[in-house]
Every structure is written in structure tokens, then in C-alpha cells.
Structure 1
Amino acid sequence: MAIRVQAEPFDYGAECNAFAAACGGAGAVVTFCGLVRDEDGRLSGMEIEHYPGMTERALAAIEAEARARWSLTEALILHRHGPMQPGEAIMMVATASRHRGEAFAAAEFLMDYLKSRAPFWKKEFGAGGEAWVAARDADEDQLKRW
């Protein structure tokens, strides 16, 4: 299990390679990387805030739930905070298991819960000013399948 909350950018390819190399015995590795969306050129930047300590505990609980539901050999949750530009990586999850179905399901579960339940607050900046990003009903609806 690895949970990292950091301000520094990360190299998605390097993270994927390191994760896969550390997953001895796994038959499947699934990764996902979330990027700051350009929003058709309207977004000039985003800032993500969190409460250190509380955030890591919440992510650990989400990861523990995934491990309880699926036979994972390894999992990674990496999430940035601070200012970011369109196109930059915000976060990634990676899961490893003996079989692909469990790795895919666990990765989707982690993504759905990170999107809706992880204690991060996003503020977008653009030509129209700045605004906090509100929760979306569609994201909440995704949780119902779990």
C-alpha cells in the first residue's frame, strides 16, 4: 500500500513502471491518471487544498476498503495539492492483482470514492474569475454501484 499526497508534479510513466516492478506475483496492473482539464481554453489554472493528516487517513480508509473487497497484491493512491495548470497530472491510482477483473474493479472503486469522498477542495481560475468546484450529482451516482 502506498498513499502519497504531494505538491510536486510526478512522472506518470515512471510511477507506472515503478509500481509494476514492485508487484511481484501480480498478473494484472491497472493505472489511471487524472489531468487538469482545459475546459475549452477557459481554465487558466486550478488549486487544490486539503488538510494534512486528515486527507491521508481518509485515503487510507478508501484503500483499505478496496483491499477488503478485492484480492489486491498492491495499490497506490497519489494525489497532488497546490496550484496546477491545464494538462498537468492531478492524481493517479494503480492496482495490482492476480487477475485483471479485480484490478479493474478496485481501480474504478478507488476513482469513484476519490472523486466524491476524498477531502480535497478544488478552485478553478479563468477569464471569469475564480470559483470553487461543486460536487456533481453524476459523481455521487457512480458510488451507488458499489
Structure 2
Amino acid sequence: MDTADLAGTYTYRSFLDLPDPVDDFNRLRFAQLELRLSVEPGGAISGALVFSDTPDGFLGMDITGKATNGSLVHFTLTGRGQPDTPISDFHYEYDGVLLPHWPTGVDQRQTLAGTLLRAANHGSGPDLALAGQTASFLAVKRDG
């Protein structure tokens, strides 16, 4: 695997790290979004974590980061809400790897896995989301 393999569009899903079984899998849901990544030859990453992309406008976090080769491709990302949007105060940090591919696997999709940290408070009043929240994520690469 190579850092260039990270480039593409993914379905991103993050999950609360609740240790006990749940009756409703949605209780684990933190977010489901679209992740778009570009990778430069030296491993520099840019992209967006997209909340919505409609004719009425784009809402997302700008993604920057770095990838390195090793036994697994490792990456770190920073996501910041775009200025002058309802999520301009969002700041998240991501640490992950490109999961290995099974040589005999059937229909396996390229998948990123890791953890995230809410690095700064965002929102206010009853909608205040405090810094320090962590979750796990998987991002499954789409075709094309």
C-alpha cells in the first residue's frame, strides 16, 4: 500500500465508543458524512468532510493532514469548519490507518479506520458540544 491509495471519496461513519451492547445500533452513531481526500506525492493530504453539497451551497470541514508509509499507511487529519458557515467553530483531529486488504477476500472495499477527537468546543447553550469527545470511525471508499 502507498499513501496515494488514500485519495478518493469515502462514506465516512463515526461511532460513540460505548462499551456495552446496545439494542439500537443508532445509539452508537456519531456522524455519517462524505469524506473527500487528495494526496500529494510527499503524503500531504487535503480535502473535505462534507455535511451537505447541494445547489443551495456547500457545508463541510476543510481537511488537511499527512500520510506516511509503513506496514500500514498511517494518516493524521485536522478538520476545521469553513469560515462564515454554521460549523465555522468545528475543529476535529483524526488519527487512522488504511486497513489491509485480504488477498482471498470477496468484494472487500478499501477502508480507513481510526479515532477522532473534538479538539475545541462548538455551538452554544443547549447545543454546546464540549472539546474532548472521542469516537471511532470507518470510511469506506466509493467507486470512481
| TM-score normalised by length of structure 2 | 0.27
Of structures 1 and 2, the one scoring higher in RCO (CA 8 A, sep 6+) is 1
Structure with more of its chain in helix, by fraction = 1
Structure with more of its chain in strand, by fraction = 2
| TM-score normalised by length of structure 1 | 0.27
